[in-house]
Amino acid sequence: SQQGEEDPQALSIQEGENATMNCSYKTSINNLQWYRQNSGRGLVHLILIRSNEREKHSGRLRVTLDTSKKSSSLLITASRAADTASYFCATDPISSGSARQLTFGSGTQLTVLP
Amino acid sequence: DVKVTQSSRYLVKRTGEKVFLECVQDMDHENMFWYRQDPGLGLRLIYFSYDVKMKEKGDIPEGYSVSREKKERFSLILESASTNQTSMYLCASSPTGRRNQPQHFGDGTRLSIL
């Protein structure tokens, strides 16, 4: 079952602009994670935010989490052409077992134009 | 560095064939996962394993089986391949028991069933 839903499905911006992607989910979570996927490759973990955190930074990435609204956003500042990729949110539900299986959304395709 | 290796990047098989997709990880992770990825549907969990010889169904197990005879290796088996199993298959691993751990992905196998 899909828990995370990203918005927008596709985003096209100019190099140097900021890109914001949103994720909504349905159930209570332990954490929410963002992954990046370059075309034809596997997913790479970007950042994890715990349910008791509201904001987290890593380099040019800023993630926010609002558990009352069950939503998260990923902000990429000063985007570069190399940021062109698909971005996925994934939730670790409280109900998941010891394997901590994640539930992924359908992703946002980001295109950064040079 | 964590490494998850999938045996083939591209694979072409015929309808009715038995197909094996192999995944090996070198991090001594207990958990391993198989996903399929289709446009607009994100990642969907097929099967996962939390220990050697242990397996659990994910969201879409029909038509698939798995094998985990050694901790580092997790195999996905298509018992009788059908055209609707044409997809990108992604393997991932993670350590068990600890919350707030990301999954580590292989580069994927793009499987075409003719």
Per residue in B45-65, pLDDT tens? Answer: 999 999 999 999 999 999 999
CB neighbours (10 Å) of residue A63? 23
Question: Rounded CA gap, B6 and B34, in Å?
Answer: 11
Scanning the structure block, which residue is given the tokens 């040079």?
A: A114
d(CA B80, CA A67): 43
Chain A touched by B107 (CB under 8 Å)? yes
Residue A95 has a pLDDT of: 77
- Taking the Cβ of residue B56 and every Cβ of chain A, the question of whether any pair is shorter than 8 Å is answered with yes
Out of B90, B99, B101, whose CB is closest to A43? B90
pLDDT bucket at A1, cuts 50 / 70 / 90: very low
Cα B50 to Cα B54: distance, rounded to the nearest angstrom: 6
> Does residue B84 sit in helix, strand or coil?
helix
Angstrom distances, CA of residue A33 to CA of A41, A65, A74, B114? 18, 10, 10, 36
A31 touches chain B (CB under 8 A): yes
CB atoms within 10 A of CB B97: 11
Q: List C-alpha distances in Å: B93 to A43, A64, B42.
A: 12, 26, 18
Q: Considering only CA atoms, which of B93, B64, B112, B99 is closest in space to residue B3?
A: B93
For residue B85, the 8-state DSSP code is G
* B42 interfaces chain A, CB cutoff of 8 Å: yes
- Distance between B1 CA and the closest CA of chain A, angstroms: 13
pLDDT at B84: 96
Chain B residues touching residue A4 (CB < 8 angstroms): 42
What would the pLDDT profile of A2-28 be if each residue is shown by its tens digit?
Answer: 456 788 999 999 999 999 999 999 999
Give the pLDDT band of residue B98 (cuts 50, 70, 90): low
CA–CA distances in Å: residue B106 to residues A93, B14, B31, B88? 23, 24, 14, 11
Residue A113 phi, psi dihedral angles, 5° rounding: -90, 135
pLDDT of res. A4: 65
Lowest mean pLDDT segment, chosen from B34-38, B76-80, B97-101: B97-101
- For B4, which residue in chain A has the nearest alpha carbon? A42
pLDDT, residue A3, reads 54
Whether residue A75 is predicted with pLDDT greater than 50 in this model: the reply is yes
What confidence tens digit (pLDDT) does each residue in A78-101 have?
Answer: 999 999 999 999 998 887 776 778
Amino acid letter for position B75: S
User: What is each CA distance from A40 to A46, A85, B49, B90, B108, in whole angstroms?
Assistant: 18, 10, 25, 11, 8
What is the Cα–Cα distance from B46 to A97, expressed in whole angstroms? Answer: 16
At residue A2, the pLDDT reads 42
